Every structure is written in structure tokens, then in C-alpha cells.
Amino acid sequence: MIEIHVPDALVESQHLYAGEAGRAFVAGLPDLAARTLERWELTPVGGSMHGMAALVLPVERADGSPAVVKFQVLDEETEGEPVALRVWDGDGAVRLLDHDAATGTMLLERAGDGRELGRSAGTGRDAARKGVVVLAELLARLTAGPAPAGMRTLGDIAGQMLDDTPAALKEIADPGERALVARCADAVREVVGEPGDRMLHWDLHFDNVLAAEREPWLAIDPKPLAGDPGFDLWPGLNSLFDPDDVRWRFDAMTEVLGLERGRALAWTLGRVLQNVLWEVEDGRELPAEDLELARRLLGRAR
């Protein structure tokens, strides 16, 4: 049986953020990986990769073609990933080659050498802007069609955010920050009745776009939901964060995607609200970059 090493950083993140499910996942990962490689007739090639939530193994299939296997905890964020990848069918995203529904394990197209857009963008504002345009062009394709029935919805998520906001505001001591977060909630309240139905990626930042061979760039690692494409802009505004460039990025992305600016602004402020609520819930400091992003979009730069 092939032995699979589980990186310490992945173990730590799963224990910290995924609780009992994360501990069970990393404990069973070596056996799951070995069984998956045997079942799908895969040969590991090269070292494994990982983020905070997944282990990715480069492999070679029985026919000699390259691929990767992705192992991750099966939860409400990850269960929709194979659904989205099937819908996109390689149009702007890596292709799904096989899937084990019981464990959430996926066999995926290997996108070139795995070079991330963040590492390819270079340094400086001009380079970052080129990367933002790449993100926007991919999003325009990925969000072009409706999400299938049964996908979790932005409407449900936004409704829960608004329900959670009053208690969270009481935990924010700084009156300026409290007022800013309240304004984000007000913006969401204006659009929550029309949450949209497009297939969203939800997490398309620079490190979730890889250089590829059949296309220049392909998206990976979606956390899909049905909703308004404006909710997908925040990662592009936050990647390689530059507060003085927020307004340019927002204008460029809304133009490429053909979005109505008012709605796009409201849903982008919704992402700021979502991030704030997560930090408050976990007892951490408010996300300074997100608050500054909101100030810049609202014309309230310090």
C-alpha cells in the first residue's frame, strides 16, 4: 500500500477550523488516499500540495494522462464543488474527471505546472491590475449561466447574515467601525429580495487561478452558490490588496462582467459584512483590509 504523508500545516488547520470533522478527516486521510489511488488506478507523481482545507496529490492515470486527486472535508461549502465543475465542463475551470460522492474526493484535470496567477502577476500596480482583469474575464464566463436546482443560495446566506448583524454590532466597540458595518448591512438589506440565480465561484482570488495548457488560465477550488455575480467581486478587490486601487478594480470588474454598479456595490459590501461576522463570531479582531475596502468603495477613505 502506498503511504501518503499528511502535512503538519494541514493537520493544524483542520484541527483549528474544522473541529471534530477535521480531526476525523486527517486521521483517515492516509487510508482514504491509498484506497482512492488503487480504486482509480492512479500513480502519485511528485509531492503533494495543500491549502487550509484540502490535500491535492499530482497523479498519473492508467492511460498515462496527468491529473490531481483532491481530498477535503465534505461539508456545505465543498459538496457543491463537483456540481459546479460539471456545469462548467472545463469552460474557464478545471475539468472534473471522476468523483466519489461518499467522501467528496475528486479526480481533476491537472492545470499545467500549477503556477498560480498570484505568482505570475509580478509586482506593482500594473501587474496586479492585469491579474484582476484575468479574474474578471473568468468570472464573466463562470457566472454566465444559472446554477442548478438544489444549490445553496445567496438569498439564504444573506438573510442569515442580516439576522446575525444586530448581535454582532453590539460586540464592535469602535463607533466608526460599528457604523461602517451597519452601513454594509443596510446595503445588503436593499438587495436581499433579489439575490440572483447565477452560478457563483465565491472564492476566485489570485491563488485559485492556475496557468494551463488548453487555456491560459483556469479556475480551481470553487465554493459555489446561486446568486448575484456582484457577490463574486470581493476576492479580486482583496487580492494583493492595494487600498488606493480599490475603485479602479471595482470599475474594471463591473465593466468586464457587465454589472449594474449599485447592485454590485451592495453585494460587495455584503462580502465585507460576511467576513466581519465570521471574525466577531470567532472572537477575533475585525478585518482591517475589508473595512478599508468598504470605506474606499463608499467614498470614505481616511
Q: Pick the catalytic residue from 203, 207, 242, 245.
A: 203
Pick left, alpha or beta for residue 46 (phi over 0 → left; psi -120 to 50 → alpha; otherwise beta).
left
- Interatomic CA distance for residues 29 and 7, integer angstroms: 11
Q: Extract the C-alpha cell encoding 13.
A: 488547520
Give 89's contacts (C-beta < 8 A, 6+ positions apart).
Answer: 95
Query: Angle CA(219)–CA(59)–CA(25) in degrees, nearest 5?
Result: 75
3-state secondary structure 161-205: HHHHHHHHHHCCCCHHHHHHHHHHHHHHHHHCCCCCCEEECCCCC
- Look up 203 and say whether it is catalytic: yes
- Interatomic CA distance for residues 69 and 57, integer angstroms: 5
Give 87's contacts (C-beta < 8 A, 6+ positions apart).
Answer: 145, 147, 148, 199
Active site residues: 203
